[in-house]
Structure 1
Amino acid sequence: MRHERVAAGVPAGGITIPNKVLDLAGTDSVEVVWRNELGGLTFRCHGERGARYIKWQPSVGLSPAERADVDLVIEAEKLRWAGQFVAVPRVVDYGEVDGAAWLVTEAIDAIPAVDLRWHGKAEVVVRAIATGLRRFHDALPVHSCPYRGTWVGASELVPEPERLVVCHGDPCVPNTLLNSGGGFSAHVDLSRLGIADRWADLAIATYSISWEVNFGRSYDDLFFSTYGVEPDMTRIQFYRELWDRD
């Protein structure tokens, strides 16, 4: 999913903070930091309880497919399941109210891959994203995963059993966090997590890196060598075309 970084502020860019978010934040400071293409907002809160993030997603006007794509109740379940095996934000609370859903997670002491400090250090970020996805795919157990990936069975490209992994589902650049040294730290935004062809993740992760909003050129060779796989151009092309139609 496409995301837009929003300048910090309360409110910012003409955005009004929903009353429920203010209730959840309590006395904490609140700033909006992300906005997605389906009207969802992410807020960072900071106070005596430390740093937390609150996602807010209205459902009014969304199609069933769009609602499924940003279902924060399901994302909370997936975070709790995945958190048994890999580094993801810890769920604090979640729920639905007045045609919108919300999800509160603890902040991870890490830096988004789109942070300005990584500008001019694309190779560092590419290695971190590839390393993170390899760990994700290796650690999450396919045999006990209760979630089906969005694109399984989407075409004649039915993946062989050895290609099936638990995919992130939205492995775009903003969804990887790095430590201060530039190494992989954690993943966020797991609403699309599920069993699927690993190339559904690999094709989109590399595609996202090349977008102008991120690093503006392909780093496929570095990514795939770091991940430890030879490029499968047929599947790369298929999943990128599917993403563009999604």
Structure 2
Amino acid sequence: MDVDRETACAAIPVPASMSDELAGYEWARNNVGESGGSVYRLFGRPGAPDLFLKHGKDAVADDVADEMLRLRWLARHLPVPAVRHFVSTPGEAWLLMTAVPGETAYQVLEASPTAQLTIVDALAAFLRQLHTIPVSECPFNSDHRYRLARARERIDAGLIDEDDFDEERKGWTAEQVWDEMQRLLPLTFDPVVTYGDFSLDNLLMIGGQVVGCIDAGRVGLADRYQDLAILWNCLGEFDPSLQERLLAQYGITDVDQRKLQFHLLLDELF
């Protein structure tokens, strides 16, 4: 168990219809990226595969339900966790999924400094594959108008963790982020099927190839820079040259800096 990424815990109460399926498992709570609810890894049941359980209450319960729908749709196109069981009650939801094998792209980059260029190439190839899914087949909208409306709701509800802003925006308020986004508009957007949170912690790799992705609650039609900006930002933690490599391998020769900055600002509010 990686104690930096998860913590052993007791089982949480689950609906009766899930009880038998979860009996005999040990539980660990995920410590990385829980914006979409509490996430638990279930492991150690003899002869049974590892599973993941996502749980949310109130508004987060709706997000868990949204992720269930997106996972079932996206499974036609990309390797994602399979939905094993979903239960929704008024104000609460539980989503049980299969575990995707592999290590996160963050772990792989950290452990393999001499292979970072080829790892980034694999990430870019996977992103290109995602963005070639026909937009006509995607029933979900995650465009800038939708995301801006959600961001405004989160600001007004006091849900923004301003202490978690990127270094470039340390000391900013959520309203300053909002105002800076408005300054960058209007922009001409190029809609594709996006993942919405295409970060290194959400991409699983084996043998230098991306074998799956997790945390699909934001999948939907949006500008391609929605995904590019988040991955670009993550790679900056390792080396700026990897950011350049990503854009080149993806196929961008003339970077739209306004779009890049807009989506980095937008991500601060989620």
TM-score for both structures, normalised by structure 1: 0.79
Q: What's 1:102 paired with?
A: 94
Per-residue CA distance 1:122-152 (angstroms, 9 max, x = gap): 43442232222111111x2201211001524
Q: CA deviation at 1:89?
A: 1.0
Kept after mapping to 2: 8 A contact 1:92/1:104:
yes
Whole-angstrom distance in 2 between the partners of 1:56 and 1:164:
31
Which amino acid counterpart does residue 58 of structure 1 have in structure 2?
Answer: K
Per-residue CA distance 1:158-213 (angstroms, 9 max, x = gap): 41xxx21010001111111111x1111111111001101111111111112224xx
Which amino acid counterpart does residue 128 of structure 1 have in structure 2?
Answer: A
Which amino acid counterpart does residue 44 of structure 1 have in structure 2?
Answer: R
Which amino acid counterpart does residue 51 of structure 1 have in structure 2?
Answer: D
1:202 to 210, 228, 234: 228
5+ residue gaps, structure 1, are none
1:29 to 23, 26, 31: 26
Q: Over aligned residues, Cα RMSD in angstroms?
A: 2.7
2:221 aligned with 1:227: no
Q: 1:168 to 1:27 in 2, by over 3 A?
A: same
Q: What's 1:40 paired with?
A: 37
Whole-angstrom distance in 2 between the partners of 1:123 and 1:55:
33
Q: What's 1:128 paired with?
A: 122
Paired-residue identity, %: 26
- 2:259 is paired with a residue whose SS is helix
The alignment of Structure 1 onto Structure 2 pairs a total of residues equal to: 223
Kept after mapping to 1: 8 A contact 2:197/2:227:
yes
Which amino acid counterpart does residue 73 of structure 1 have in structure 2?
Answer: A
2:205 aligned with 1:178: yes
Which amino acid counterpart does residue 28 of structure 2 have in structure 1?
Answer: E
Whole-angstrom distance in 1 between the partners of 2:7 and 2:226:
36
Q: CA deviation at 1:217?
A: 4.7
Which amino acid counterpart does residue 176 of structure 1 have in structure 2?
Answer: L
Kept after mapping to 1: 8 A contact 2:79/2:211:
yes
Whole-angstrom distance in 1 between the partners of 2:52 and 2:6:
13
2:25 aligned with 1:19: no
- 2:137 is paired with a residue whose SS is coil
Per-residue CA distance 1:111-132 (angstroms, 9 max, x = gap): 2113367434343442232222
Q: What's 2:169 paired with?
A: none
Q: 1:228 to 1:56 in 2, by over 3 A?
A: same
Kept after mapping to 2: 8 A contact 1:206/1:218:
no
Q: What's 1:151 paired with?
A: 144
Which amino acid counterpart does residue 148 of structure 1 have in structure 2?
Answer: N
Larger radius of gyration: 2
Whole-angstrom distance in 1 between the partners of 2:230 and 2:32:
20
Whole-angstrom distance in 2 between the partners of 1:126 and 1:41:
29
Structure with greater contact order relative to length (CA < 8 Å, sep ≥ 6):
2
Which amino acid counterpart does residue 156 of structure 1 have in structure 2?
Answer: P
- 1:202 is paired with a residue whose SS is helix
Q: CA deviation at 1:51?
A: 1.5
Per-residue CA distance 1:36-86 (angstroms, 9 max, x = gap): 454832222232331211112233xxxx5xx48x71111111011011111
Whole-angstrom distance in 2 between the partners of 1:86 and 1:39:
21
Q: CA deviation at 1:7?
A: 4.6
TM-score for both structures, normalised by structure 2: 0.72
Quick check: which one's helix share is greater? 2
